[in-house]
Chains A and B, each alone.
Chain A
Amino acid sequence: MVMGSLRGATAIVGVAETGLGKGTKNALQLSADAAREAIEDAGLRKTDVDGLLTVTPVEVKQRFYASVLSEYLGLTPRYLNALEVGGATAATCVAHAAAAIAAGQCDTVLIIVGTARNSVWGRDKTVEALASVGHPEFEDPYGPLIPAMYALIASRHMHEYGTTHEQMAEVAVACRAHAALTPKALMRDPITVEDVLSSKPIAKPLHMLDCCLVSDYAGALIVTRADRAKSLRRPPVYVLGAGEGHTHEAISEAPNLTSFGCVTSGQVAFQTAGLGPKDVDVAELYDCFTITVLVELEDLGFCRKGEAGPFAASGALRLGGALPANTNGGLLSFANGGIFHITEATRQLRGECGARQVPGANVALAHNNGGIMSNHCTLVLGTEATL
């Protein structure tokens, strides 16, 4: 197996998590805060940034948003774009940044994902706005909402493998337990499996506590050349591998309802990194809904197809378990941005996670999912020891 040339060429050297919840700032303002926080974390200056990647916030109507954001921040990058794969975009930005830097197109890429959807829209309007994301002729007329589309996946997974709601709920319980150890997390009161099952039904089998939060947030990452990373403030977290996988847009067009592009994204990321699931010390798995973590555990190779339910129920995802996962609480309890899987994976490998630290973590996996399990991107990250 030949490792990809991307391996170890770049490192994440700055992270930021800001504006979580509901406030008065718009996406540009939140993004500016995140940019400042990330550049300070890295010990770099605004003038060091020569690349910018972002995603257009759902509540923003302006086109060419990357250019809008760049201008707001007073940047004049040699590499710029807004990528568009929904919730998979943050990880995809890292993959693109690493490839661009490795190719010599730029040296230091600032990645920002920010949204003020909660303040601008509120929860009800967010649900309504996100209810028209299905196919306009062949899905939307039937009254779907995003949780219902994911519930279809849960329905089939339960039918094919006997997965239970209790097993799905273990994901939410683990995330909440980890959020309790994370000062910035939005939801920190512990919950039980019974709490999840008795929470308000949204689209069965998914109940309220099976569903991710709706909030404002801004996250930022700074990715730079590996040789430059060594001289900066924090221990570099190297990008060892990155992969994508895409199988459909509308869930009714998915070739398979229990296995998705995460199979490919994981394979490519692991192959480039020259590593496998057994090497992963901590996993940050996209948890827009509890079922997605179970599917990702299987498709990424952490357990066999159909066995993620018992795996989760065994306590494997908890700190101290076989595969500590979503150590800041994830989308279910920290804040609903995939970028925070990456900031958390970075913090874990730096060793700065305090009470929620996975001791001696050297390899982290961060996975982002977009659409209705439509678009996937997997990152494998590692410390200096993995080079």
Chain B
Amino acid sequence: MTEAVKSAAPTGPRKNVPEPTSDTAAYWEAANRGELLIQRCRACGQPQFFPRSICIHCWSGDLEWQRASGKGRVYCFSVIHRAPSKAYAGDVPYVLALVELDEGVRMMTNVVGCPPDEVTVEMPVEVVFERLTDEIALPKFRPAGR
């Protein structure tokens, strides 16, 4: 279902690399294997993202990991023409987006695998993983079915 799209070859200033915490270690470990996880509360059944130690809906601490299908839709997006720092300058223009997963949670990401001009709101997408370091692969999304 998922594969690493490309290896990181950092040149110059470094991009922001996630530093896993005790809340998120399982998420990043799964992403490193090409798997997208979200949390689901065993007490109330609701999903949530990003991972936390507490359910944001009912405050239960009884949360479990669920493998997401990796499918969703672009909820909103922006084509970035001015990089926040030199580390991202080579990527310009690139797409920042919120994707709503089929499971009902939203996450920030980049839409890759198509020209920025072709991205539209509600466009179906599927997850791919982009390797940043040996330990961290970043979930990104490409148009579904390509």
Contact = CB atoms under 8 A, between A and B. Distances in A.
Interface of A: 127-128, 131-132, 134-145, 147-149, 151-156, 159, 200-206, 250-253, 257
B84 A145 contact: yes
A3 to B, nearest CB: 34
B81 A153 contact: no
A200 B79 CA distance: 13
Contacts of B28: 137
B22 interface: no
Nearest to B20: A137
Interface centre among A138, A143, A201, A252 (most CB of B within 10 A): A143
B82 to A, nearest CB: 5
A252 B138 contact: no
B90 to A, nearest CB: 11
Nearest to A207: B81
B16 A141 contact: yes
A90 B85 CA distance: 29
5 contacts: A139-B108, A143-B84, A145-B82, A204-B80, A205-B78
Nearest to A151: B78
Given A137-B24, A159-B121, A142 B81 contact: no
Contacts of A148: 78, 80, 96
A144 B79 contact: no
Contacts of B15: 141, 143
Contact of B83 (A137, A143, A200, A205): A143
Contacts, number: 116
Contacts of A206: 78
A203 B80 contact: yes
Interface string B68-86: 0000000111111111110
B88 interface: yes
Given A141-B138, A203-B79, A136 B84 contact: no
Interface residues of B, number: 39
Interface of B: 15-21, 24, 28, 49-50, 75-85, 87-88, 91, 94, 96-98, 106-110, 121-122, 132, 138, 140
A141 B79 contact: no
A138 B96 contact: no
A203 B79 CA distance: 5
A131 B121 contact: no
Contacts of B21: 137
Given A137-B19, A155-B76, A204 B81 contact: yes
Given A141-B16, A155-B121, A257 B98 contact: yes
Contacts of B80: 143-145, 148, 202-204
Contact of B91 (A128, A143, A149, A200): A143
Nearest to A141: B16
Given A203-B79, A252-B98, A252-B108, A127 B84 contact: yes
Nearest to A201: B81
Contact of A155 (B78, B81, B106, B107): B78
B17 A152 contact: no
Contacts of A202: 80-82
A379 B83 CA distance: 35
B16 A152 contact: no
A136 B15 CA distance: 11
A-B CB proximity, top 4 nearest: A131-B84, A151-B78, A145-B84, A155-B76
A144 B121 contact: no
A134 B108 contact: yes
